[in-house]
Amino acid sequence: MSQNEVGTLRRAGDDTGHREFAERMAGALSDGLQALENLTRDDEFWQGWANGDITVHKLNALAADRLQRDPADRTARWTLVALALAHGANDGGLPLLGPEITADPTVVADALVIADWIGQEIGLDLTDELRAVFARADRHALELLAQTEGGEAARAALAVLEQRTSLPGRD
């Protein structure tokens, strides 16, 4: 079941030059699947399903439900991002990163990777979506991060926020 999604993520990671990120997304998918598998079949989640089989559809439903109940649920959030990327969602799950960026400015690099990934794979320019996600970040934390060695992602985020740049080569 998830082997198709993992394979899709890995191929796209190779194609876009984001192999390490693709491996992290494969890991996120694995974590989500483990959470689904760990549910006992008498758990409330399983009510209404025709069977207890593990499917991508059920994984998506569980992750969405968990994230709605607990916006800090990182496993659910990153499972949904991985599924969005594996299934070619136009936004790549980018809007899901908003709260993570606020809590952890280093996730900015992941947002840039997602935007680049979608640009290369689908051809969409996610500059406006990036701007909206970065606007949720702690601006001061981004500025501090931008001043550090290795702060390229934060500098790029600030440039997108200030509309000094968009993602090149996207229509």
Point out the domain boundary residue: 56, 87, 118: 87
For residue 138 the two structure tokens come to: 């702690």
DSSP secondary structure code for residue 55 in this structure: -
Rounded distance, CA 156 to CA 167, Å?
10
**Domain co-membership, 77 together with 155:** no
139-146 and 152-161 helices, crossing angle to 10°: 130
**Domain co-membership, 57 together with 103:** no
**Domain co-membership, 52 together with 106:** no
Please say whether the beta carbons of 22 and 14 come within 8 A. yes
**Domain co-membership, 128 together with 75:** no
pLDDT of residue 100: 84
Dump pLDDT digits (tens) for 89-141: 999 999 999 878 877 777 999 999 999 999 999 999 999 999 999 998 888 88
Token look-up 């593990």 returns: 54
In this prediction the pTM is 0.89
DSSP secondary structure code for residue 43 in this structure: S
153 has pLDDT over 80: yes
**Domain co-membership, 112 together with 157:** yes
Point out the domain boundary residue: 87, 105, 126: 87
Quote the domain boundaries for residue 13: 1-87
Q: What percent of the chain is predicted at pLDDT more than 90?
A: 71
**Domain co-membership, 153 together with 72:** no
* Number of structural domains found in the chain: 2
Point out the domain boundary residue: 87, 119, 148: 87
* Ramachandran sector of residue 40 (left: φ over 0; alpha: ψ -120 to 50; beta: rest): beta
**Domain co-membership, 96 together with 38:** no
**Domain co-membership, 64 together with 14:** yes
Report the C-alpha dihedral over residues 165, 166, 168, 171, rounded to 10 degrees. Answer: -150
Neighbours of 148 (CB within 10 A): 10
